[in-house]
Structure 1
Amino acid sequence: MRTIKLLLMLVAAISFTGCKKFLEKPPQGKLQEDEALVDEASLQAFLNGTFNTQATEIYNGRLWFINDLMSDEVNGVLYTEDNGEIYNRRTSIFGAFKNDTYTRIYQNIYRANKVLEKLSLASGNKNKIEGEAKFIRGLMHFEAVRMWAQPWGFSADNSHLGVPVRTAPNIDVIDRSTVKQVYDFVVADLQAAEQLLPDAPVLGYPSKWSAKAVLAKVYFQQNNFAKAFDYANQVISSNKFAMDNMQTKRFSLSDSKEIIYGFKNTQSVLEPGSELRDRYRSDGTNFSPNNDFKVTDQFFNLATQPGDQRAAWYTTINGYHPITKYNANQFNVSIIHLTEIKLIRAESGAELGSANLAIAIGDINDILSRAYAGTSMNLPANASAADVIRVTRIQRELELIGEGNRLQEIKRITARTNASPDRRGASAFCPGLVLQFPQGEHSGNTNFIMNIEGGCN
């Protein structure tokens, strides 16, 4: 019992070091870790604490808000300080909100590596523990490389610089790996997790289907449509998940059938989504146009078409258009869900053509039928691939508003077409769509190459 109590205190101590630069000093509790991690139970408890920190420090809305600030859906003309720097796509070595996010991502990687270092302590649940640790490590590297590096496809062989790949629980000075090296590492970790994780989905923990779903996202980000389609198809065909009859169930206390990986709200124990409420909420006195998320007039008009049930996700306050998606005191948080996987299969299927096109049309019609409460807006059975791709990209924006999606789509489509779809007029591969690293990386390693600064205009 003393060991477990010490372990829980350790996880809490590490969780509160997010504002410190991770690479300037070892995470607190290094000695306590070795004392506390003594058997399989303590190892699993430490790993469970890592999922809690994901829910409360990274996927609480923090990572999505940074993505959304840099998108072309947001009206950010009133933003100042950290928010203004991110919105204006001119990040520097400063900016605690951005830098703390980087720190927290790599602290999660550190914890996963610590579990893998101590894996010999595991016995009966060894596969599950190893799979969870590799899932976390792969997912966190994927999130980091998408934010702090130019996208897959920026260079012909993807030899442009990515992020540091950390494979051990230490703070050794290391350089940035190439984007190809990072993606190869991410895929290897997720494929290992796919084989090791349990089959049955449990909200709050990854299953093999979570790993497959993230692999679908990874391959889709690479515009590798054959593999993206394959993994998305495996998830959908498993029949482990089903489309909710209402989009609002994904972020509510209802038992959504769509959530493939996410976090369950347990009152007074784990209440995820704190920054979703702080940054996106618009009911009562919670909305501030100077700080909170609001969409442009252009996107508001796109998202509030007659008959579209998702128009209820928007409101207008003093001429601004915030969203209502997270207007609740408590809700479960869906990190990856069936709607997104259907959107991946739809666009990938249209790109591949042949029999896959019919599957793609079926997927996008499932989404349209729910959105419009009927088939009035459905695509015909003979819709062209180009039409399916166009409609799917629109539906992706509408379904995933406030989920940090659009920035990564701008990057992915730019890599696919060599032309930026950015409504704010960014040129292809502009440096401002990549975050600057914290100064701590360069201070610890003068050979560390920082990103180019200079915005997008």
Structure 2
Amino acid sequence: MKLSSLYTKVASIALIVLLFSCQKYYDPTEFIDEESALTNEADVGTATIGTYAVLKNASYVRSGHFIMEYPGDAVAQGQSSGDDLTRAYRYTHINTSDHCTNFWSQAYKVIAAANKIIEFVPDDASAGLLQLKGENLFLRAMMHFNLVRIFGRPYPQKNGDNPGIPILREGLTDEEATSLSRNTVKEVYDFVIADLLKAAEMMTVAKSNAFASKEVAYALLARVYLYKEDNTNAVKYADLVINANRYTLLQGSEYSGYFRTLPESNRETIFCIRHTKVEDRSMSSIGSMYFSGDVSGNPLGQGVSGWAEIYASKKYYDFLTKYPEDLRNTFVTPYIADGKLQYNQKLTPVTPMYYVNKYSLQEGQINLSSPVYLRLGEVYLIRAEAEAKRGNVDAALTDVNKLRERAGLSGAALYTESKIQELGKSALDVVLEERYLELAFEGHRAYDLYRNNRPMERNYPGTHSLSNTPTTDLYQKILPTDNRVVFYIPQAEINRNSKLIQNP
């Protein structure tokens, strides 16, 4: 069955999955006992598609993007918004944040749906059932990992001995599931790693990049180990992905069109949250916040096809355009009208309107995108960072240069050990700069800084200046130890579960 028709068919199934799998955690008084719903492999397959459908909800995808990407310095908000996303950008967090509440709730709904299948399928089941159980283990691990990243402090701070998020295992009673305390960051990481290792063992089918498979689990393991600063294992699992030869770094025009192509045909994407043409979210899409234009990618004014309120920051744009031949310039579309760069006039100083198109124009639809969660370019950078931290400078620079070469850079734009010494930089400096260039707008930047004990500094136009006196002072600096590095636990969850202790 084609993926598009499959997703359409399971829309109602996803609702059923929510009813029997998710209400158990969130509203036990409305829990519907559906123990008889899963009886065979076909049922489990259908329910698993339902879990992926739950993952695609805007409460997870859109809200998650806002609270992961907007605290970074690759983006600039050009005007205040009535949407809660402004608080994520400005670091003026509140405990009733809409996007945090949405993300927390939807992530646990995915976990609850996955748990139903994990509990049903025994570890000695058929290969087909184990494949499906492995996919749900991956989804459960992914949700816990993203939750602890947003609501728990980076692992290197106190070696994981900070409050994380509740671990929701399979097999809990209603009372147990609704009265969980926060596990430590370390406990959550250990749980995630165990799930991913088990998932990798169970998955034997190389599915498309809209589904989990062995290498997808390996790629996330590489990221988890990197964030944990277990650099040996980060290299190990990055190598397993790279050497599997399932994925290829896109080159030339294919790379320039990375985010516009049919996701299944993208040989670099390891895992994405697939959206089909009928799932275009229009003005409610992620891309709507970054871009307004026509189907050819030509920029137009705000409100034509999108809100276009979030731009590439001047800091990022200046760093990117140091090399005009860098193909990554194609992911930023300056809004030029009558031969002049346009500025958002709603702030002082005014904000240059550098549109971002990484979440637009998939398959020729302006606001359609399938957000990429894991891709081979990141895996090379995971390995590079881990090697830099192990003191293997040549290995780190080799991986960095591989990405710079595929971006069209050569000669003096490439790095050698002597060159970085002349620049007064370390190998880690170079890797983090390359992550800034390569993974911009994909939800990594702020966390990359904080987990490496580095501050996030903004000195460019944007609404962060509204936090200052005078508001024309553009400088904002967030230290990695700042309370604002993590978001508040949603107050609605604390009201529901008094064992949840709030972040300071």
SS at match of 1:30: coil
Q: Judging changes above 3 Å, is the alpha-carbon distance between structure 1 residues 204 and 286 closer, same or farther for their aligned structure 2 residues?
A: farther
* Partner of residue 91, structure 2: 89
User: Is 241-250 or 281-290 further displaced after alignment?
Assistant: 281-290
Q: What's the CA shift string for 1:151-180, capped at 9, x where partnerless?
A: 10221x422100010103644211100111
Question: 1:320-359 residue pairs with structure 2 within 5 A?
Answer: 320-328=353-361, 329=365, 330-353=368-391, 356-359=392-395
Structure 2 gap ranges (5+)? 1-7, 295-299, 336-341, 344-351, 459-475
One-letter identity of the residue aligned with 1:322:
Y
Q: What's the CA shift string for 1:272-311, capped at 9, x where partnerless?
A: 9973223333325574697732132222211222222212
SS at match of 1:425: strand
Q: Does 1:153 align with 2:156?
A: yes
Taking the aligned partners of 2:258 and 2:86, their CA distance within structure 1 comes to 30
Question: 1:195-206 residue pairs with structure 2 within 5 A?
Answer: 195-198=201-204, 200-206=206-212
User: Is 217-226 or 165-174 further displaced after alignment?
Assistant: 165-174
SS at match of 1:435: coil
* Partner of residue 494, structure 2: 442
Question: 1:15-414 residue pairs with structure 2 within 5 A?
Answer: 24-26=26-28, 30-31=32-33, 33-57=34-58, 60-76=61-77, 78-81=79-82, 82-120=84-122, 123-155=126-158, 157-168=159-170, 170=174, 171-198=177-204, 200-245=206-251, 246-254=254-262, 255-268=265-278, 275-284=285-294, 287=302, 292-305=309-322, 306-314=324-332, 315-316=334-335, 317-318=342-343, 319-328=352-361, 329=365, 330-353=368-391, 356-380=392-416, 387-414=426-453
SS at match of 1:132: helix
Q: Does the 8 Å CA contact 1:50/1:108 hold for their aligned counterparts?
A: yes
TM-score (norm 2): 0.79
Q: Judging changes above 3 Å, is the alpha-carbon distance between structure 1 residues 264 and 88 closer, same or farther for their aligned structure 2 residues?
A: closer
SS at match of 1:113: helix
Taking the aligned partners of 2:27 and 2:375, their CA distance within structure 1 comes to 37
TM-score (norm 1): 0.86
User: Is 185-194 or 240-249 further displaced after alignment?
Assistant: 240-249
Q: Does the 8 Å CA contact 1:60/1:275 hold for their aligned counterparts?
A: no
Q: Does the 8 Å CA contact 1:272/1:333 hold for their aligned counterparts?
A: no
Q: Judging changes above 3 Å, is the alpha-carbon distance between structure 1 residues 114 and 52 closer, same or farther for their aligned structure 2 residues?
A: same
Q: What's the CA shift string for 1:109-143, capped at 9, x where partnerless?
A: 11111111222596451211221111111110000
1:368, distance to aligned residue in structure 2 (A): 0.7
1:183, distance to aligned residue in structure 2 (A): 0.7
1:193, distance to aligned residue in structure 2 (A): 0.8
User: Is 376-385 or 201-210 further displaced after alignment?
Assistant: 376-385
Taking the aligned partners of 1:298 and 1:7, their CA distance within structure 2 comes to 44
Q: Does 1:432 align with 2:484?
A: yes
1:409, distance to aligned residue in structure 2 (A): 0.7
Q: Judging changes above 3 Å, is the alpha-carbon distance between structure 1 residues 296 and 334 closer, same or farther for their aligned structure 2 residues?
A: closer
Greater strand share, structure number: 2
Root mean square deviation, CA, Å? 3.1
Taking the aligned partners of 1:271 and 1:124, their CA distance within structure 2 comes to 35
Q: Does the 8 Å CA contact 2:17/2:47 hold for their aligned counterparts?
A: no
SS at match of 1:322: strand
* Partner of residue 455, structure 1: none
Taking the aligned partners of 1:444 and 1:332, their CA distance within structure 2 comes to 33
Taking the aligned partners of 1:277 and 1:159, their CA distance within structure 2 comes to 37
Q: Judging changes above 3 Å, is the alpha-carbon distance between structure 1 residues 100 and 399 closer, same or farther for their aligned structure 2 residues?
A: same
Q: Judging changes above 3 Å, is the alpha-carbon distance between structure 1 residues 438 and 308 closer, same or farther for their aligned structure 2 residues?
A: same
1:265, distance to aligned residue in structure 2 (A): 4.6
Q: Does the 8 Å CA contact 1:112/1:137 hold for their aligned counterparts?
A: yes
Percent of residue pairs identical: 25
SS at match of 1:85: helix
1:16, distance to aligned residue in structure 2 (A): 10
Q: Judging changes above 3 Å, is the alpha-carbon distance between structure 1 residues 382 and 292 closer, same or farther for their aligned structure 2 residues?
A: same
Q: What's the CA shift string for 1:232-264, capped at 9, x where partnerless?
A: 111111111111014344422242111111244
One-letter identity of the residue aligned with 2:408:
Y
Taking the aligned partners of 2:163 and 2:197, their CA distance within structure 1 comes to 23
Q: Judging changes above 3 Å, is the alpha-carbon distance between structure 1 residues 28 and 333 closer, same or farther for their aligned structure 2 residues?
A: farther
User: Is 382-391 or 361-370 further displaced after alignment?
Assistant: 382-391
